[in-house]
Structure 1
Amino acid sequence: MSEPLTPQDVEALFTRSDESFLFARWGRPIVPIVFGVDDKTLSVVKGAIEAVVTLANHKMAETDPELGANLMLFFFRDWQELLEVPDLDRLIPDLAPLVARLEGAEANQYRIFRFDEGGAIKASFVFLRMDDQLGAVPAETLALSQIVQTILLWSDRAFQDRSPLAALPDGGQVILRPEIAALIRAGYDQILPKMSREASHALRLSARLVAN
């Protein structure tokens, strides 16, 4: 059984390694595009996106007027493949040094966010190098985990010790932990700002968890 999140728990989920607090949610409808998967996996990924966006009471759209697509997910086998994607280096400056750094770290995933003038999320790039570790994760679990970690700007330390997902008692289906689902809903409360650097924002989020 999941324990409710305390205000301290909520604050920690948005407190970064440099001890600064930063919360942000999407400020525009999400327009996803997925690269490197077959039709079956594409359906799974888009289903996960739709489920999490619906949970957040946010919106999706057919196109973004500025970027076309604003949530791009890349599935690949080798980091070098990113250097071959047309125009990706225009969207992500310093792409080659980033690829070299991720290769050196033997990373299998990386997320980049872009923000509008008000600090809300306007775009995200999700890179997944399908090594043996990620390849062993069911598509449904991998997709849900990635979208949950993209729907809000979590701390770089969030979920290091505990996944946002949990397996049902029968050992079958993997679901989003209820307390994380509640926090996502609270984060998209229209009364709250789309971005905050004030740690007191965690208290406002926590109050909405109690209300829910």
Structure 2
Amino acid sequence: MSLDLTPEEIQALFTRSDGSYGFARWGRPIAPIVFGVQDETLTVVKGAIEAMATLAGHPMAETDPELGSNLMFFFFRDWAELLDVPDLGRLIPDLAPLVARLQAADASQYRAFRFDDTGAIQASFVFLRMQGAMAELPAETLALSQAAQVILLWGDQAFAETSPLAILPETGATILRPEIAAIIAAGYDRMMPPSANDASHALRLFARLQAPTQG
């Protein structure tokens, strides 16, 4: 399978605003928890995470030995609500200034990551303000998009202009873009490192995208 991505395009997906390259994948089983939604939406979000973990060939778990849950989704209407979440300030340093910045920017989403000694993802916190366009999205679309953006550490502008999702014209179904799915699978290849700060890593991802698929 050959996908129409150049090494430069792959590199751009993991390049931060300051020009540095940064890649990381999960280093431990993912144990998710979701706050602020009804049971139906909870099932959809967890299903999207499970689908992404299956794609990556990465395990999930009921609990994390250190945090209980290491992937936390928060759904809310106003950023100020985060200030009332018990103990959240212990998980997110400088929570009050962060909330102020997100309010000032009228942001709709924010992701924070923690890393282990190898640079792999140890925990992630996803904050989604359900107002405006974000609130209009179907639950399946929102969940799949967020799961894709948290299965790897992408560059902060990776999906600013192009969604990681695509719509199948035949059925209207929303799917993960094939090239993004391929990059996720390549990033979790057991021969690849759990984290990388050198742009040559993008060439190794590119090489795996060019390899013929195994039957």
Equivalent residues in 2 for 1:49-198, closer than 5 Å? 49-170=49-170, 172-198=172-198
Residue matched to 2:37 = 37
Identity of aligned residues (%): 70
Distance in 2, matches of 1:71 and 1:142, equals 16
User: Number of matched residues?
Assistant: 211
Aligned with 1:20: secondary structure? coil
Distance in 1, matches of 2:6 and 2:145, equals 22
Residue matched to 1:7 = 7
What's the CA shift for 1:5?
Answer: 1.3
Deviations 1:111-134 (A, max 9, x none): 001100111000000000000211
The one-letter code matched in structure 1 to 2:105 is: A
Distance in 2, matches of 1:72 and 1:5, equals 32
What's the CA shift for 1:170?
Answer: 3.4
Distance in 2, matches of 1:64 and 1:112, equals 17
The one-letter code matched in structure 2 to 1:166 is: A
What's the CA shift for 1:73?
Answer: 0.2
Aligned with 1:54: secondary structure? helix
Distance in 2, matches of 1:102 and 1:171, equals 37
Distance in 2, matches of 1:104 and 1:170, equals 41
What's the CA shift for 1:3?
Answer: 5.5
The TM-score normalised by the length of structure 1 is 0.97
The TM-score normalised by the length of structure 2 is 0.96
Root-mean-square deviation (CA), in Å?
Answer: 1.2
The one-letter code matched in structure 2 to 1:147 is: A
Residue matched to 1:210 = 210
Answer whether contact 2:26 2:152 (CA < 8 A) is retained: yes
Distance in 2, matches of 1:86 and 1:178, equals 39
Greater than 6 Å deviation, 4+ residue runs? none
Distance in 2, matches of 1:35 and 1:61, equals 18
Gaps of 5+ in 1: none
What's the CA shift for 1:171?
Answer: 5.9
What's the CA shift for 1:172?
Answer: 1.7
The one-letter code matched in structure 2 to 1:103 is: Q
Distance in 1, matches of 2:95 and 2:16, equals 24
Answer whether contact 2:3 2:209 (CA < 8 A) is retained: no
Deviations 1:133-179 (A, max 9, x none): 11110000000000100000000110112111001103621100001
What's the CA shift for 1:98?
Answer: 0.6
